[in-house]
Structure 1
Amino acid sequence: MKYQELVDVYSALEATTKRLEKTDIIAEYLKKLDADTIGKVGLLLLGGVFPAWSSEEIGIGAKLVERAVAEAVGTTQAKVEDAVRDEGDIGLACIKLYSKKSQMTFFSQPLTINFVFDSLQKLSKISGSRSTNRKISIILELLSQASATEAKYLTRTITEELRIGVGDGIVRDAIAQAFDIDKKVVERAQMLTNDFSVVARTALLEGASGLSRLNLTPGTPVKPMLAQLSLPVAEIIPEMGTAICETKYDGIRLQVHRNGNEIRIFTRRLENITHALPEIVELFDEYLPHDDYIVEGEVIATRDGKPLPFQNILHRVRRKYNVEEAMENVPLKLYLFDVLYYKEPMIDEPLMTRRETLENIVDTSVDEMNLSTMIIGTPDNIDEIEELFNSSIAAHHEGIMIKDASEPYIPGIRGKKMLKYKAEPETLDMIIVGGTYGIGKRGDFVGSYLVALRDENDEFKTVAYAATGLDDATLEYLTGKMKEIEITTKGREIVVEPKIVLEIAFSEIVESPEYETGYSLRFPVVKNIRKDKGPMDVDTVERLLSMYKAQ
């Protein structure tokens, strides 16, 4: 299958903002593909060649791509950089530069999807001496045979900036439509595998029955079940009937997999951080059975027996070097609260059953390995639940979680079966799309940040400017990061690629025609830089509207 055919699909997708049109375009294209190609397209449509959870990445910087483009079109890297600056995007720069291409490639064959996909995967495996030249050689081979539009999307894929307005939801719906399968079946398969190459290929070859057979596999992370804000306990518990109420810890949520002799640790973003937590790997190896399992918990940083702020644990798990030094300076403590797999998948079992299994397999004889503090909540012991909340706050934790004890585990879904009850104001995870430089002493810093939420098409819609809650060191850090992802700067206004996630607290949601959502936030305060979250982890416009109606 020619790569140009996929490029034509990219172009059509980029030309519309309508979700249903995008779904139709992809669905019609998927019907034409064979089993091998459809798996690769399932990833390429989302701008990559590896599943989202994979630790492998193309890993090519913009400057290297610009150098390859310069060689491919017979110009200087400086002129490529000028074109990128003028057009605001490497892909559009290629359209401009290829129109003036001074070199011709004789006897070139049309690019195929298989060749492009395999070449891009090779880039992740190149290391050692002369690795830069070898990477350039692979990229140059692709670009030299590419048309202008092929080069546009090749360079965007390599730099992980495809920009066609397609997210998981649209690809999921397109697979369902192409093969006449219930969306819920496709969604469940994707939630359990987190790999659209597997889902698309299975849908083509085996249909709904094949997708229904896909299940959890230790070693492959699953999207976490998500919580929404709880109403007062006295209102929620009678509705649930029986709930598991447990302390909410201010740490990083972990999903720990054992597959044979291998233990892997993933974050809620499905990022593999095993290398950063060797002492946690040892704890699981010693204090849990040597059977296959997937368990969930929270890891917090401690000092003198008290939890440290979230940023401490974040810095700890982000560390790539001097890990042993960090282990001494930032001791970690585990609190496990769920098991998704033990010898066999358990996500369809009630939470109460899963909790009992967890209690049976975890040895908590050391201080570092714990189960979450919990009680069984019923309408008859509301006072005990409130006491758990108060004692959790007194111990410097965030509050409590309230979970329906009879419910299965629902990956990737935020609903009323799992609630968070916190003392602090509610927050939203929002993404920076722009900002305004300060004046006077802060003239070199971006002082006000334009933040946005994700809509149903996985596009970002603005909600507010946030300008408080940040010290000078953080302002300097954020400004540096924004310069790295800058799209344009005019006067004091900067527009950036949506990559930096902030946790924003606020007092109230109000209607406002000034922002794209039609709403804004009163007194927004930046609580945290969420380095553990990416663009697709940002809260949604739908959630904003739900919170607005609940005020």
Structure 2
Amino acid sequence: MLLLELVETTKAVSSTRSRLAKVDALAQLLRRLEPAEIPTAVGLLSAKPRQGRVGVGWSAVAAAKAEPAAEPSLSVADLDAALDRLLGTAGTGAGAERAATLRKLMAAATGPEQSFIAGVLLGELRTGALEGVLTDAVARASGKPVQAVRRAAMLSGDLGGTALLAITGTEAELDAVGLVVGRPVLPMLAATATSPGAALEATGEASVEYKLDGARIQVHRSGGDVSIYTRNLADVTHRLPEVVEVVGGLPLRDVILDGETLALDEEGGPRPFQETMARFGADAARETVLHPWFFDVLHIDGRDLLDEPLSARISVLERIAPEHRIPGEVTADPAVAERVSQDALAAGHEGVVVKAIGSTYAAGRRGSNWVKVKPVLTYDLVVLACEWGSGRRTGMLSNLHLGAHDPKGEFGEPGGYVMVGKTFKGLTDELLRWQTGRFQELEVRRTTGTVWVEPVTVVEIAIDGVQQSPRYPGGIALRFARVKRYRDDKTPGEADTIQTLRALLRP
């Protein structure tokens, strides 16, 4: 298929707010693709190219700009092959070779294709084809049940591969996709509430568990082999030998565990998050030890537990790893939930997560069955731009422009980010130095006082609430926003939504 057909489809999808129209346009495109093109096209449509980021920045893209081709000639496969070459070029002379590859690619592209390619390379692709919409389109194009497609995509962690299987395979083959020990699945996510009582109203009887200030891990053991993955499904087994040792010693054969790891001080309390993440991100051995704590189990010795209630999964977890289960208590009483929350805070943890006791494990989804409660309102937002500082901050990028995720496109492009405020508060000198260097690496354009960046950096922001404001497109502004920390362990797609923030407005 010509790349231009895909580009034109993305424009049609972005230009309509109708979900049905989006699904129909994408399904028609998927039906016209050759089987080998399906995973590549799905990656491009969902703004997740198969190769990921290939190390090409704004300056390289600008230098490669050429007169657009008069007629389309590039195929989807041509772009895929070029991304492979860019990713695989290394060593002496790599810079010149990559520049040549990029110039050749741009010279063969029409104007619309050049813009699309630049968006792919810079991580700015905004097609309007959110994964949920695209998943529905795969179901429409293949004639398979949408629930079967969604489940296969969740359990495989690969929408492109799922699309290929759905369109070219049988329904039985699609249904056969299941948990595989050693293949990570997308983690279940939690919504937010302001109090344990409010969370219980959403969940009913629940397991109220400590919310640790650590790094999310998913641990797989198959026989004697242990693998550990981050919330983004990256393999970090080599960084966590202490976790490998713990899980390798459990009385079982095969297991998939969901939990967190964090550093503890001499009294058993949690060390600062930055210390945990410094150790978590280090490839070399460090003195700091990371302790694993588990709150869920998805598989045990040939038995999948995803569709079993949380009560059953907790029972299994208490049997196989009682010393490593995150503390918690099952209750429907708001007073008990509040006591557990206060106990967690007194122990130095963030708060609690309230989980409906009858809920199944919904991989990759954020719903009302899991609700996190923190004593202060904190939200994960995306940095859109940064302003140059003044006074003692002269020469440093200081004031952050903050955006909330807009998955439905209610205030702009679907899947984009809606600006909700600015802040320079809470930034240490160390963070100022770091972000000044980092955001210039991520620069896409600048004005006299502001550097606009790729929307890929997640920062945790504490606020006192929100207020109505005509200044920003979402109609709200943050109140007393301050930086708590950068979240290298989260992707921009996991940022809190504009809908979540708007829900804070008082009636």
Q: Match for residue 331 of structure 1?
A: 289
Distance 1:518 1:260, change over 3 A: same
Cα distance, 1:461 vs. partner? 0.8
**Of the candidates 427, 434, 437, which is equivalent to residue 388 of structure 2?**
437
CA distance in 2, matches of 1:465, 1:140: 38
Query: Hey, what does 1:446 align to over in structure 2?
Result: 397
CA distance in 1 between counterparts of 2:99 and 2:203 reads 59
2:418 corresponds to which residue? 461
Q: State the AA in 1 paired with 2:350.
A: E
Q: 1:296 aligns with which of 258, 278, 292?
A: 258
The residue number in structure 2 matching 1:501 is 458
Shift of 1:288: 5.5
Using the alignment, how far apart are the partners of 1:412 and 1:63 within structure 2? 31
Asked if residue 112 in structure 1 is aligned to residue 112 in structure 2, the reply is no
Matching residue of 1:545: 502
- Residue by residue, what CA displacement relative to the aligned partner does 1:350-375 show, whole Å, maximum 9, x if unpaired? 111111222223374xxxxx111122
- Alignment of structure 1 residues 319-398 onto 2, 5 Å: 319-320=282-283, 323-324=284-285, 327-328=286-287, 330-342=288-300, 343-362=302-321, 364=323, 370-379=324-333, 384-398=336-350
What TM-score do you get using the length of structure 1 for normalisation?
0.81
Alignment of 1:428 with 2:356, yes or no, is: no
For residue 239 of structure 1, report the CA deviation from its aligned partner.
7.0
Compute the displacement of 1:396 (Å).
Answer: 0.7
User: Aligned residue for 2:471?
Assistant: 514
Structure 1 residue aligned with 2:411 = none
- Describe the shift of the 1:375–1:170 C-alpha distance in structure 2 as closer, same or farther (beyond 3 A): same
Determine if contact 1:501/1:534 at 8 Å carries over to the other structure. Answer: yes
Helix, strand or coil: the match of 1:228?
Answer: strand
Distance in structure 2 (CA, Å) of the matches to 1:158 and 1:477: 24
Structure 2: runs of 5+ lacking an equivalent: 409-413
Question: Distance in 2 between the 1:348 and 1:251 partners?
Answer: 27
**Is the CA contact (8 Å cut-off) linking 2:389 and 2:399 kept in structure 1?**
yes
Q: Are the aligned partners of 2:68 and 2:110 in contact in 1 as well (CA < 8 Å)?
A: no
SS of the counterpart of 1:307? coil
> Is the alpha carbon distance of 1:29 and 1:297 closer, same or farther for their aligned partners in structure 2, counting shifts above 3 Å?
same
Per mean C-alpha deviation after superposition, the further-off stretch among 37-46 and 2-11 is: 2-11
Partner residue, 1:401: 353
Residue 487 of structure 1 corresponds to 444
Post-superposition, which runs of at least 4 consecutive aligned residues in structure 1 deviate over 6 A?
none
| Percent sequence identity over aligned pairs | 30
Could you state the TM-score of these two structures normalised by the residue count of structure 2?
0.87
Match of 1:273 in 2: 236
Residue 35 of structure 1 and its aligned partner are, at CA, apart by 2.9
SS in 2 for 1:397: coil
1:529 aligns with 2:497: no
Q: Deviation of residue 130 (structure 1)? A: 6.2
Larger deviation, residues 250-259 vs 348-357: 250-259
Q: Secondary structure at the match of 2:32?
A: coil
Counterparts in 2 of 1:61-80, with a 5 A limit? 61-62=56-57, 66=61, 80=62
8 Å contact from structure 1 (residues 64, 136) kept in 2: no
| Cα distance, 1:127–1:435 mapped onto 2, change above 3 Å | closer
CA distance in 2 between counterparts of 1:100 and 1:496 reads 29
Contact 1:58/1:121 (8 A) holds in 2: no
Q: Is the 8 A contact 1:269 1:537 kept in 2?
A: no
- Counterpart code for 1:98: E
Mapping 1:5-404, distance limit 5 Å: 5-13=5-13, 21-50=21-50, 57=52, 59-62=54-57, 66=61, 80-81=62-63, 94=65, 97-99=66-68, 110-121=73-84, 123-125=86-88, 142=105, 146-147=109-110, 149-181=112-144, 183-206=146-169, 210-230=173-193, 232-234=195-197, 237=200, 240=203, 242-259=205-222, 261-287=224-250, 289-291=252-254, 293-304=255-266, 305-320=268-283, 323-324=284-285, 327-328=286-287, 330-342=288-300, 343-362=302-321, 364=323, 370-379=324-333, 384-404=336-356
- Matched-pair contact (CA < 8 Å) for 1:245–1:376: yes
Q: Within 1, Cα distance between the matches of 2:103 and 2:332?
A: 65
Residues 450-477 of structure 1: per-residue CA shift (max 9 Å, x gap):
1111111111111111221112221221
CA contact under 8 A between 1:426 and 1:505: conserved in structure 2?
A: yes
Amino acid at match of 1:338: D
Q: State the alpha-carbon separation in 2 of the partners of residues 60 and 234 from structure 1.
A: 47
After superposition, what is the alpha-carbon deviation per residue over 1:211-265, rounded to whole angstroms, capped at 9, x for unaligned? 4443222233222222223464456557755322222111111111234554322
Are the counterparts in 1 of residues 209 and 352 from structure 2 also a CA contact under 8 Å?
yes
Residues 402-421 of structure 1 mapped to structure 2, 5 A cutoff: 402-421=354-373
For the pair shown, which has the larger CA radius of gyration, 1 or 2? 1
The answer on whether the counterparts of 1:58 and 1:120 sit within 8 Å (CA) in structure 2 is no
Q: Distance in 2 between matches of 1:285 and 1:445?
A: 47
Separation (CA, whole Å) in 2 of partners of 1:195 and 1:535: 18
Unmatched tracts of structure 1, length 5 or more: 51-55, 67-79, 82-89, 102-108, 365-369
User: How many Å separate the matches in 1 of 2:105 and 2:387?
Assistant: 39
Once residues 433 and 93 of structure 2 are traced to their aligned partners in structure 1, the CA distance between those partners, rounded to angstroms, is 35
1:179-204 Cα offsets, whole Å, 9 max, x none, are 45554443333222221112212321
